[in-house]
Chain A
Amino acid sequence: MKPLKLSVSGVRGIVGQAITPELVINFASAFGTMVPAGPVLVGRDSRNSSPMLTDGVISALLATGHEVIDLGLCPTPITQFLVKNKKARGAVSVTAGHNPASWNALNFINSQGTYLNEFQGQELLDIYHLGRFKQLALKRAPKIIRELNPEEPYLEWLLGRLHLTPIKRAKFRIIVDPTNGAASKLIDKLFALLGVQLIAINNEGNGYFPHDPEPRPRNAIEVSSLVKITTADVGFLLNSDASRVSLVSEDGETLSEEYTLPLVARYYLKKHPGPVVTNLSTSMMIDQVARGLNLPVIRTKVGQSAIIQAMLEEKASLSGEGSGGLAFDFFQPAFDALVTMALYLEMMAVEGEKLSTLVKRLPRYHIVKDSLVCPAYRLHTLVAEVKKLYKGLEINQLDGLRLEKRDLWVHVRASTTEPLIRVIAESTSQHRAQMEVDRIMAFLRRLTA
């Protein structure tokens, strides 16, 4: 079985198994066929396999008649920003975000700089499956423009939207682990401009992942110990394309990636009030924050594409997921870890509070996550089976199954990025959440045995 995941925003799999040059060229050709003639951006993360995918993508875009602006190593949020900045027709970001080094993916971005919405994604898949791609005779040599410093216009824009003076005055010391991903080195520039003393680890951009490039406590041990040793104000852990971030507070506590959204939400929403969009799997902490400000929370399917689509439709101010991906409408409708880190520093500077203090103000929930590997073709059938455990309860089926009972909610869904069933429960009681997850996992294991 070669795991290959098609989703509305792209295609993802293990390199050499599902991800082959031909598959990459076919998908990029479908994208090149879909978007009108004009420049298309191509950026990539630092994975070993990313140049291979990038070459395939560029070749397909040239064959379908596009001019290519090659951004080289470039975080996805910067690629998204540059689509509008350079008036491009769209972009392809080559990165598997938080997945291990053996994986890679193509992420397709529309002319608005956002992930393809479900309609555009469906159109892309239709063209892909039909297999009739636009092909030009290339009578004139097609153009590839190599952008050497793609981050410059982005940094200028970002700085223009921050309260620089308090940040600079605070003279923060921070630890950042960009996991040798696309934001490596670039963070040096960003934090120098913010007047922050940066201690960076895994900052080589060489694609060697010292741990899985997923921002979560178990990968943040190095950051945590450095925060303590250097008495830093905060620690940040990024994924490979700088779309997600998790936090380490100044006392060295590795915070669950679930905290990234609610911790900054109050500060940001006070300045930019508006609805909040999150997914069905994200912690209820955000509901507490929004309720305090009398703002609604809208819950969608999991994934950047669905979140951003809802954010734009609902004119939301803030959106994000429990995975540590956040989008701010004052900045751009894209999960952006660079914006998120900068806003954290702004908040800490303006409010003059320690991160651990802010954590204590949030209600304490216990979220338990587990997952079960399962063949891709059985994912959805098995998820539906779980309904049998909850006869008589009201079940939200927008994305898998989600239900609430007393002080607990449960979400069971098929991953869109891997052949996994994810089971998540949250409760004020650790024990209750764990029990519920265990019960569902045992049920699923019996079915798959």
Chain B
Amino acid sequence: MRKFLPLKVSISGVRGIVGESLTPQLAARFASAFGTYLGQGQVLVGQDSRPSGLMLKKAVIAGLLATGCQPVEVGILPLPTILFLTRKMQARGAVVITASHNPSNWNGLKFISQDGLYLRSSEVEEFLDIFHQGEFTYVPAERIKPALSEKEAGYLHLRRIFSQIKVNEIKKRKFRLVADCANGAGATLLPRFLQELGAEVRFINTELSGKFAHQSEPTPENLKELGHEVRALQADLGLAQDADADRLALVDEQGQPLGEDATLTLSVDHVLSRKKGPIVVNLSSSMVIEDIARKYGVRVYRTKIGESNVVEKMLETRAVVGGEGNGGVIWPAVHPCRDSFTAAGLILEKLSSFPGSISQLMATYPRYYLLKDKFDCPAELAFKVVTELRRRYQRENTSTLDGLKIIWEEAWVHLRPSNTEPIMRIIAEARSPEKARQLLERFKGEIEQILKQMS
């Protein structure tokens, strides 16, 4: 396969490999483009725990200073916390140095608007136009402002969540928990969060060394250590954050991973039990969401993959809850972004109102099996594959909003090129693991055949 340059510029920002494609020059140019786009004002600069974060932060600050912005360094913080603070501190925007779940040799920049949201697709276009034209509004020396530093702001985020959940109910249950921060940014605030919820917690992987304890995608393999600790401690629940703490995965009291959709399922159900309203989830989230919606008689909107798409639709439909099946829960009552802290708060509140264990609680929902796979596929080939499959399956019930999703009774398959890496993702869900596996294999075979024909 042709060697590709590992740099991706997409709606969620820019990502690349440090030492190859993601250089300080590029970071400074992006920051100057962003400063030009925002106009002069305060811009938060945060980061995850990756070792290259410091280098990129310096370049970003130089880029912002040169365009007359006043950077406010907030240090290593969870992504949802930075999003929340951007609005709370009335900043003009924020730059976050992170590559979320990508391997630790990657890094990237995310750009946040004044309202604490990722730039909308139309805003990204305007911003990228400025970047590509390369005409930045550098200010003369006398209008360069001093950079500021604000290291204690993270607690404001926790306080907001506490104001929205029943802290005392949760405290009464005296939860015993194990929490895995994956050596990511969540480790800066999760101990304090769970402690104030009255839980007895054993923490693992709380170093901010930037060496992620495991691949931070919360797949069953990556939750082994957590499951082991939960069993050893006879804990009620295991919580696992991803590297930038926007997603949360769960392990039940027997140490078994609860499947990626459990976090969203529990959170959506719990929010709706308090307040009815529309739900927004992406195309790849489980069908169980429709089951829950039916229970409360509310409407489900499905969007393209990507947090910003979900958030945009949520704001448009005044949704009460939403998110992504990969553990990203969005509760606008706190802030319209994926937030592992919010998710943990909702789930602990839900569990504190349920008389049984977490696995008994999960058993009250219809069971689906979701399988994922991915393979290397450069963007232009992926596009051709999707076009061909759309042609073949045009008679089925399909959605072409994002790649191709084919929906049957009690099963679906979703194929789409990734926005952040040159790979193609394939996801299938069905009522049995065999059926899901069958679907996955069938489509993988079909794609391989199409690729062979094309080459």
Contact = CB atoms under 8 A, between A and B. Distances in A.
A51 B65 contact: yes
Interface string B6-34: 00000000000111100111011101100
A29 B141 contact: no
Interface in B23-57: 23-25, 27-29, 31-32, 51-57
A56 B138 contact: no
Interface string A28-65: 01000000000000000001110111011011101100
B62 A138 contact: no
B29 A141 contact: no
A290 B138 CA distance: 50
A55 B71 CA distance: 12
A55 B61 contact: yes
Interface stretch (A14-22, A174-182, A246-254): A14-22
B28 A142 contact: no
Contacts of A104: 141
B384 interface: no
B317 interface: no
A140 B18 CA distance: 12
Contacts of A52: 61-62, 65-66, 144
Given A48-B142, A139-B51, A21 B19 contact: no
B60 to A, nearest CB: 8
Nearest to B19: A137
Nearest to A131: B25
B63 interface: yes
A168 to B, nearest CB: 39
Given A48-B141, A102-B141, A62 B65 contact: no
A58 B54 CA distance: 10
Contacts of B28: 21-22, 25, 56, 59
B74 interface: no
A141 B210 contact: yes
Given A52-B144, A135-B19, A25 B51 contact: no
A56 B59 contact: yes
B59 A138 contact: no
Contacts of B138: 15-17, 20
B52 to A, nearest CB: 4
A25 B61 CA distance: 12
Contacts of A102: 140-142
A136 interface: yes
Interface in A142-156: 142, 144
A51 B54 CA distance: 16
B209 interface: yes
A140 B51 CA distance: 6
A175 B56 CA distance: 44
Interface string A165-195: 0000000000000000000000000000000
B147 interface: yes
Contact of B24 (A15, A16, A20, A29): A29
A243 B103 CA distance: 47
A249 B31 CA distance: 50
A144 B54 contact: yes
A26 interface: yes
Contacts of A15: 66, 138, 140-141, 144
A138 to B, nearest CB: 4
Contact of A62 (B29, B54, B105, B146): B54
Q: Of A14, A47, A60, A144, which is in contact with the most chain B CB atoms at under 10 Å from its CB?
A: A60
Q: Of A15, A21, A53, A103, which is in contact with the most chain B CB atoms at under 10 Å from its CB?
A: A21
A59 B66 contact: no
A116 interface: no
Given A21-B66, A140-B51, A135 B29 contact: no
B139 interface: yes
Nearest to A143: B54
B70 to A, nearest CB: 11
A24 interface: yes
B135 to A, nearest CB: 11
B19 A25 contact: no
A58 to B, nearest CB: 5
Interface residues of A, number: 38
A366 B345 CA distance: 82
B210 A51 contact: no
A63 B51 contact: no
A414 interface: no
B58 interface: yes
Nearest to B137: A16
B24 A63 contact: yes
A256 to B, nearest CB: 29
Contacts of B104: 139
A21 B142 contact: no
A29 B141 CA distance: 23
A142 B63 contact: no
Nearest to A56: B62
B55 A63 contact: yes
Contacts of A62: 24, 54-55, 58
Given A21-B66, A55-B62, A59-B58, A49 B141 contact: yes
B58 A56 contact: yes
Q: Of B57, B58, B63, B104, which is in contact with the most chain A CB atoms at under 10 Å from its CB?
A: B58
A21 to B, nearest CB: 4
A63 B210 CA distance: 16
A326 interface: no
B140 to A, nearest CB: 5
B180 to A, nearest CB: 21
A101 interface: yes
A133 B65 CA distance: 24
Q: Of B29, B54, B56, which is in contact with the most chain A CB atoms at under 10 Å from its CB?
A: B54
A269 to B, nearest CB: 40
Given A26-B25, A29-B24, A138-B18, A55 B59 contact: yes
A192 B163 CA distance: 57
B139 A51 contact: no
Contacts of B65: 21, 49, 51-52, 55
Contacts of B139: 16
Contacts of A142: 51-52, 54-55
Interface string A342-357: 0000000000000000
B32 A20 contact: yes
Nearest to A32: B24
B23 A135 contact: yes
A137 B210 CA distance: 13
Contact of A139 (B23, B29, B56, B105): B105
Nearest to B49: A141
Q: Of A133, A136, A141, A142, which is in contact with the most chain B CB atoms at under 10 Å from its CB?
A: A141
A21 B59 contact: yes
Interface string A94-122: 00000001111000000000000000000
A142 B140 CA distance: 31
Contacts of B62: 21, 24-25, 52-53, 55-56, 59
Q: Of B19, B23, B66, which is in contact with the most chain A CB atoms at under 10 Å from its CB?
A: B66
Given A16-B140, A102-B141, A137-B17, A22 B25 contact: yes
Contacts of A133: 23
Nearest to B52: A138
Contacts of B136: 20
Contacts of A16: 66, 138-141
A133 B18 CA distance: 13
A135 B54 contact: no
9 contacts: A15-B140, A20-B66, A56-B59, A59-B27, A62-B55, A63-B18, A133-B23, A138-B51, A141-B52
Interface of A: 14-17, 20-22, 24-26, 29, 47-49, 51-53, 55-56, 58-60, 62-63, 101-104, 133, 135-142, 144
Given A25-B59, A51-B146, 14 more contacts: A21-B28, A21-B63, A29-B25, A48-B144, A51-B65, A52-B144, A56-B62, A60-B24, A63-B55, A101-B141, A102-B140, A139-B104, A141-B51, A142-B55
**Closest 4 interchain pairs by CB?**
A59-B58, A16-B138, A137-B19, A141-B51
